[in-house]
Structure 1
Amino acid sequence: MNSEFYQSPKSSKFMRLFWKAAGADRFILERSTYGDQIKYVCLGGIIIATGVMAAIAGGYAFYTIFAPKGNAIDSFKAVEGIASNYDPTHIPTALISIVFGLIWGAIIFNIDRFIVTSTGKGDGTEAITRKELVGALPRIIMGAIIALTISKPVEIRMFKTEIDVALHAKQIKQEQAYKSEIEKVANGEIEKKQSIIREQLNRIARLDSISTVRKADIAYENSHGGCSLKCAEFKNQLASNQAEVTAIKSDPEFIKVKKELESLETDKLNKLKESGKVAAGLDGLLERIKLAHEEAGWVISLFVTLLFMTIELTPIFFKLMLIKSTYDYMEENIKELIKADKGIEIQHNFYPDGEGIERDLVINHQVIRVLKEKIKLLEAQSTLSNEAIDAWKDKKQNDINNNPEAYLSEE
């Protein structure tokens, strides 16, 4: 707007970007006061900031969920700058998280933009009436839900160091509990197999002990006059013992039990090696949110959430508190001009409905004009058609009068 008493400031690309985010009309704002321009710059700035925060929070949450799990203390070392072989960033997951974060930020940005632009300006005063609050309630609820989804990932990032230490302690407990359970289950089966094998080995040991004594007896007999009949008996007993030992060792049941024992011990070792992976499974988004509440306390967690809810809901309350300004009157004027140009007339509080509420009467003059033209056209076509039929009828009547034989046939 340019006049003797006021000249509207020129808008920059930066201002126009924020106006667009706020859903404001650039045409009107460029002809409005500086105060109106700044109002919508601030409103658009909050909406864009919310979208950016949502993108960061969504990307971080996605990374936390899908990144390879590990020992929380390694993550703690990375945060504190302690030397370790741990790589804090998994590049493939990070790239996917960036893409997801951008998509999520765009979704939240557009939802916020819709919520703000669809929220009315109230009654044009600073006061927020009960009626205005009730009307804005669905948008307030949606905004609160969005604030919660943004605040939780940011919260676990804020308290990451404390969460990593607490999570590491929990992982150790989980690993120990897992190992104890594996030991308890596996050792029972292993003990049964070892008992069977021990019984057979004791038999072999007894036979070997007897064989050793008999070998000594044979050696003694040979050194004292040669091997007699008793020596032959000792040799027979040695051969019998050796045959029994061989039979025990080659027994299919004994071999089967030994293999089962080896398999149980191998399986036990493999499961014990996986205890670290089981403990690392605790490093998830839900567990970190729980630990954030435990470590930070419900008061701090509540205030972090309230902070984001304030940021998210500010544009809604801001619009309800806006005082009618030049922008609003110009917007209404342009809307009325457009309605007039399109032949739309609204007669306010024209008739009561079934519940006694006054309703507006909307008259679409262009529609009425077209409808009248169409009715006139159809009426004219109907009249012309009737005249044509009457003329055709008269002509045929004359033909019949002049030459009736042409219309009759004798069989």
Structure 2
Amino acid sequence: MKNFTRFFWFCSGANFSLLKRSPTESNKYIGIGATVFFTGVLASLAAGYALFTVFQSIWPAVFFGLLWGLMIFNLDRFIVSSMRKREKARAEWKLAIPRLVLAVLLALVISKPLELKMFEREIDRKIDEKRTEFITESKLNLAKGFPEIQELEAKIDTLKSEVATSEEFRNKVQLDYDAERFGEKTAGTSGIVGLGTNAKKKEQQLDAAQVTLDQLRLRNQVRIDTLEAQIREFIALRQLEFEKQQPGIEGFDGLAARMEALDALTKESSAMAMANVFIMLLFIAIETAPIFVKLISPRGPYDEYLELHEDKVRLFKGEKWTFAKGESEARVGYFQDTHFYATDLKKEKTNRKNKAQTAAEISEIESKFRV
């Protein structure tokens, strides 16, 4: 229990020696430290999941997730530990605004990957729909890119239509022939039963129509087989192009794709949008909780000890500065006095020497004139 207490004190950025002197503040800083710690854990999980969608590998996601979680933990710890309880609440809130803005930004960054994980099933369904749209669009674009297939298929339809027309004509001649044999009276038959002259003529027409149909079928089938072979070649080329695009479509499962899918889901469903907002607000509340706890909590013994310690440091600094300044001024004064005294002595010696030299020169000149 003692180790947990010290660990959460460390997470809150509090001074251990000062907290030991103010035991009534212990629980408050345990709560602040626990909030900072679990915010870092959530940030690590969120970053790990987000990076797993990027790398598709567990170990890089774990490594960078832990790194991101430690960075968020360090930032939160710095934000909380840098706040000071003053006697003026307005000044505290004014100083806390930049920290609150930073906390909100961190909450938004942390919440987004976890939202993607919470709505994973719905997002997967939306991504599958998007893939289907991409496949359909890709096939339509490829069909437009190979107009030769439609042209060849149109030629095949024309050839089959010719065979069907010839077959219809043969069937019509067959009906006329049967009607003539069985004595059915129509506009084109005599109505006499048996194989008479008209029946033989109808039979010759039927034979000629059958020969023409067989020849046309054979000729058109050869042409159809050739056209179908060409179509298969173009289809193979089209399939090859589609297979080149297939990995890109199958790989449509990155972080940006999932965020786009989540955005589309929130636009389609008001319930999803509300849940998304609530999750975001929850993480904002978690991230800003340590700051608000520091702001709304009354000034306690720990804050008094901390301010006293900082004031002692400032006073000690002032004393050291005054002492160092006095010593420096004394040294400068001593240097100036001794330097100027030595300079005056040197000047006096130089003047005496110059005067003696001048007197000697004058006496020498006078002695020369006397001679």
1:328 matched to 2:291: no
Q: Which residue in 2 is equivalent to 1:21?
A: 11
Q: Which residue in 1 is equivalent to 2:290?
A: 315
TM-score, normalised by the number of residues in structure 1: 0.62
1:268 matched to 2:238: yes
Give the whole-Å Cα distance in 2 for the aligned partners of 1:284 and 1:161. Answer: 15
More helix by share: 2
* CA shift digits 1:366-400 (9 cap, x unpaired): 35324422432332243333234235424533652
Match of 1:153 among 113, 120, 124: 113
Please state how far the C-alpha of 1:334 moved relative to its aligned partner.
Answer: 1.7
Could you list the runs of 5+ residues in structure 1 that have no partner in the other structure? 1-10, 68-92, 199-258, 346-363
Match of 1:66 among 37, 45, 55: 55
Amino acid at match of 1:65: V
Say if 2:92 and 2:295, in contact at 8 Å, map to a contact too.
yes
Say if 1:167 and 1:283, in contact at 8 Å, map to a contact too.
yes
1:233-252 → structure 2 map (5 Å cutoff): none
1:26-105 → structure 2 map (5 Å cutoff): 26-33=16-23, 35-67=24-56, 93-105=57-69
The number of aligned residues is 289
Could you list the runs of 5+ residues in structure 2 that have no partner in the other structure? 157-228, 366-371
* CA shift digits 1:252-278 (9 cap, x unpaired): xxxxxxx99887544311122345423
Amino acid at match of 1:270: L
Q: Which residue in 1 is equivalent to 2:224?
A: none
* CA shift digits 1:169-223 (9 cap, x unpaired): 222222222222212222x14456x59x99xxxxxxxxxxxxxxxxxxxxxxxxx
Q: Which residue in 1 is equivalent to 2:181?
A: none
Amino acid at match of 1:369: G
Taking a change above 3 Å as real, the CA distance of residues 29 and 183 of structure 1, as seen in their structure-2 partners, is same
Amino acid at match of 1:56: L
Match of 1:301 among 272, 276, 300: 276
Q: Which residue in 1 is equivalent to 2:74?
A: 110
Amino acid at match of 1:64: T
* Matched-pair identity in %: 28
Say if 1:122 and 1:320, in contact at 8 Å, map to a contact too.
no
Give the whole-Å Cα distance in 2 for the aligned partners of 1:116 and 1:109. Answer: 11
Taking a change above 3 Å as real, the CA distance of residues 381 and 280 of structure 1, as seen in their structure-2 partners, is farther
TM-score, normalised by the number of residues in structure 2: 0.68
Give the whole-Å Cα distance in 1 for the aligned partners of 2:106 and 2:256. Answer: 18
Higher mean C-alpha deviation, range 108-117 or range 307-316: 108-117
Give the whole-Å Cα distance in 1 for the aligned partners of 2:46 and 2:345. Answer: 78
Taking a change above 3 Å as real, the CA distance of residues 397 and 16 of structure 1, as seen in their structure-2 partners, is farther
Amino acid at match of 1:103: L
Taking a change above 3 Å as real, the CA distance of residues 22 and 262 of structure 1, as seen in their structure-2 partners, is same
Say if 1:122 and 1:321, in contact at 8 Å, map to a contact too.
no
1:123 matched to 2:87: yes
Match of 1:138 among 73, 85, 98: 98
Say if 1:19 and 1:40, in contact at 8 Å, map to a contact too.
yes
Question: What is the root-mean-square deviation of aligned Cα atoms in Å?
Answer: 3.4
Q: Which residue in 2 is equivalent to 1:12?
A: 2
Q: Which residue in 1 is equivalent to 2:254?
A: 284
Larger Rg: 2
* CA shift digits 1:260-299 (9 cap, x unpaired): 9887544311122345423324312233224335166111
Say if 2:86 and 2:299, in contact at 8 Å, map to a contact too.
no
Taking a change above 3 Å as real, the CA distance of residues 402 and 190 of structure 1, as seen in their structure-2 partners, is farther
1:390 matched to 2:347: yes
Say if 1:46 and 1:311, in contact at 8 Å, map to a contact too.
yes
Match of 2:316 among 335, 341, 346: 341
